[in-house]
Structures are given as structure tokens and as C-alpha cells.
């Protein structure tokens, strides 16, 4: 009988002290996280347009932040406001380091608006306003009117020109993917049924902006075939599916 009473008393005591033990564990764990996971270093990689101090300041991250509770999403959104920041990745390195990895936008083309030249990347994101000397280093685009351009924002056009902007974006991405941006100039988007531009000084007719990547690839092939044959193309037509002409 005594043994059973002892067992009952022990069971009641365990029930009383278990919540206290749990609170103690939670307190110790929270104290450990707050003390042992303080950020002591923030490093920046991939950025050339902005100084590390500017990137860190814009992110809102600070030395002394708790590594476990760092809000990478908010920091990333802040950094995406910088015009030349195309992508952001924020990683934690235990026990005390944050790394901000930047992928920068690559300048591709220039669109003139009311006498001002605006630089855009392949995604038609506006990077900055530049002068005439700098403009000559990039692809000139005609036939598109931007509305209220501002650095860091997506290019905006009137509703009737949205297809034109979409085709331009597809074309610039294809040019970038094939690595021929240094050979392209004078893109004319005035007629979206027959977009034209210069490739190595040769006029190219690509028809609509559909299948831009495929058409750029065909254009490169035609130019190479003509050059290998010892000729020189005066115009290249890749507007017709499956057929390419040079003359």
C-alpha cells in the first residue's frame, strides 16, 4: 500500500513541475539564440555598379541582427529598387554571417523620349538616362514611345503599343542569349509585322517578333554561310518560317 501511495505522489509531482521545466527550456533556448546567432559580418558579392556599403545600407540589414530571424524577403525587395539590381539572393552562414548575392542588369538598348536617351536591359527595365556619347555604345531602338520613364521601373507604353514592347523584349532577350548585342543596331519597331534592324551593318527583316530566338539563330547562320562562300550580303530576310534569304 505504501508503495502505491509513493507512486501516486511521484506522479502528481511530475505533473506540477513539467510546465516549469518546459518554460526553462524555452527560456534557455531563446537566450542561446539571441546570444550566439548575432550577425557579425555582412558580405556582398556580384555587385560592380554599387559599393558594398550602398548595398548593405539599402538592404536594411545590420550588424547585430539575429541571424535566425533575418527577413531576407524584405531586404531583397528593397534592393530590387536599385535600377541595376536584376536579382537578389540572401543567404545565412552559420554562425554569424549574411551574404548578399547580386545579379546585375546588363545594359542593352537605348530608347529616345522627348530628346532624352533612356537605357534599358533585355527585360525592358529602365536603368538610367544617358547622354549621346554613351548612347552610341548601345542598340538604338525606334518606333516605341515610352511613358514617364524612371530608373528602376519597367518600361511603360500606351495600351496600343504593348504588343510592340513585348516583341522588343523578346528580341532583346534573343540577342542577349546569342551573344550578338555588339553586332546589332538600329532596331525599328514601327511596323510590328516586319521588324527590321542592322546586323554587322546588314539590314535584317525578321517579320513579326514571334519566335525571335529562332529567327536570330537563322540570321547568324545565313550570314556565316554567305561569308564562307566569299560573298557579302546586302540584306537578310528571316521573316518566312523555314526559309532564309540573303542578297
Cβ contacts of residue 13 below 8 Å, gap of 6+? none
Q: Quote the CA–CA distance of 169 and 155 in Å, as a whole number.
A: 10
Q: Quote the CA–CA distance of 38 and 17 in Å, as a whole number.
A: 32
- Residue pair 214/225 in contact (Cβ under 8 Å)? The answer is no
- Residue pair 189/168 in contact (Cβ under 8 Å)? The answer is yes
Give every residue of the chain whose pLDDT is below 70, as ranges: 1-35, 241-247
Tens digits of residue pLDDT in 182-241: 999 999 999 999 999 999 999 999 999 999 999 999 999 999 999 888 877 789 999 986
Kindly compute the dihedral angle of the four CA atoms of residues 52, 55, 57, 61, in this order, to the nearest 10 degrees: -100
Q: Quote the CA–CA distance of 62 and 38 in Å, as a whole number.
A: 10
Cβ contacts of residue 208 below 8 Å, gap of 6+? 167, 192, 193, 194, 195, 239
Say what angle helices 212-228 and 162-178 make with each other, to 10 degrees: 50
pLDDT of residue 11: 42
The pTM (predicted TM-score) of the whole model is 0.78
Q: Quote the CA–CA distance of 183 and 76 in Å, as a whole number.
A: 34
Cell of 57: 545600407
Residue ranges of E strands in 108-173: 109-113, 116-120, 126-130, 139-142
The SS3 call for residue 44 is strand
pLDDT of residue 186: 97
pLDDT of residue 17: 46
Q: Quote the CA–CA distance of 157 and 149 in Å, as a whole number.
A: 9
Amino acid at each position: 500500500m505504501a508503495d502505491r501511495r509513493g507512486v501516486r505522489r511521484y506522479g502528481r509531482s511530475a505533473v506540477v513541475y513539467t510546465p516549469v521545466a518546459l518554460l526553462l527550456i524555452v527560456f534557455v533556448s531563446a537566450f542561446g539564440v539571441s546570444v550566439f546567432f548575432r550577425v557579425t559580418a555582412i558580405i556582398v558579392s556580384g555587385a560592380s555598379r554599387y559599393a558594398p556599403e550602398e548595398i548593405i545600407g539599402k538592404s536594411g540589414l545590420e550588424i547585430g541582427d539575429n541571424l535566425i530571424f533575418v527577413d531576407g524577403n524584405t531586404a531583397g525587395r528593397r534592393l530590387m529598387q536599385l535600377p541595376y539590381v536584376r536579382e537578389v539572393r540572401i543567404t545565412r552562414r552559420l554562425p554569424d554571417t549574411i551574404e548578399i548575392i547580386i545579379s546585375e542588369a546588363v545594359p542593352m538598348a537605348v530608347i529616345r523620349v522627348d530628346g532624352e536617351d533612356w537605357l534599358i536591359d533585355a527585360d525592358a527595365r529602365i536603368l538610367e538616362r544617358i547622354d549621346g556619347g554613351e548612347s552610341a555604345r548601345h542598340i538604338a531602338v525606334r518606333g516605341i514611345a515610352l511613358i514617364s520613364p524612371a530608373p528602376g521601373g519597367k518600361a511603360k507604353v500606351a495600351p496600343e503599343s504593348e504588343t510592340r514592347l513585348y516583341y522588343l523584349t523578346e528580341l532583346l532577350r534573343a540577342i542577349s542569349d546569342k551573344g550578338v548585342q555588339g553586332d546589332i543596331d538600329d532596331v525599328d519597331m514601327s511596323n510590328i509585322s516586319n521588324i527590321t534592324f542592322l546586323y554587322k551593318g546588314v539590314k535584317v527583316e525578321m517579320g513579326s517578333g514571334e519566335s525571335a530566338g529562332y529567327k536570330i539563330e537563322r540570321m547568324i547562320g545565313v550570314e556565316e554561310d554567305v561569308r564562307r562562300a566569299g560573298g557579302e550580303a546586302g540584306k537578310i530576310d528571316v521573316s518566312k518560317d523555314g526559309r532564309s534569304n540573303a542578297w
